[in-house]
Amino acid sequence: MGWAWAKIVALIGAGVAAVFAAGSAHGPAFVQAYLQRLGGHIDEARRTVGELRDGATARVVPDDGSRERLVEAFGARLSDLEASRAAITEAHPLWRPVVTGLQADREIAQATLEAFTPAMPLDFASLVYAAIGLALGWAVWELLQWPVKARIRRRRKQRLRRGF
């Protein structure tokens, strides 16, 4: 019975580690999806700023003062988005998921997450993240087992002291 239980526990541990590995491997894929969505926001902001500067929106915003305030607001948003993209793309591929977590626009990241479809990424960064996730999964599994194993060890010691 002990051998079978050990195999079951090892199988569960492998499953936990595999789930962590698969989840971690999707970090770089999510970054790529986020960058694509971010690029679309940047393109739209550039188009809007260009139209406001060229006066193409004169029928909508006839006041020059209002138009200038809109240009400033959209220009600031465009600068923020471009800075975020630059920070992510200039980061080493292994650090991009971390930088994305720190630099991401929350609304764009949420929309990316809602539309994100997991895939099986096989690039180097994804494989490294899978290995890290595998190690973390094993560590979590071992930590979850630790109290149970400690209790079993205590019971064995008590039985040995009693002579059973």
The amino acid that residue 58 corresponds to is A
Query: Is the pLDDT score of 46 beyond 90?
Result: yes
Tens digits of residue pLDDT in 127-142: 888 888 888 888 888 8
How far does the chain reach from its first CA to its final CA, in angstroms?
19
The helix (run of H) or strand (run of E) holding residue 63 is: none
pLDDT of residue 33: 93
Tens digits of residue pLDDT in 79-99: 999 999 999 999 998 899 999
Domain residues for the domain of 126 are 2-162
Query: Is the pLDDT score of 57 beyond 70?
Result: no
Query: Number of folded domains in the chain?
Result: 1
In contact, 88 and 100? CB cutoff 8 Å: yes
**What pTM, to 2 d.p., does this model score?**
0.66
pLDDT tier, 108 (very low <50, low <70, confident <90, very high otherwise): very high
pLDDT of residue 4: 75
Token pair 């975020």: residue: 84
pLDDT of residue 87: 95
Report the mean per-residue pLDDT for the chain: 86
Q: Flag the least confident range among 37-46, 49-58, 72-81.
A: 49-58
Name residues whose C-beta falls within 8 Å of residue 44's C-beta, 6 or more positions apart in sequence.
Answer: none
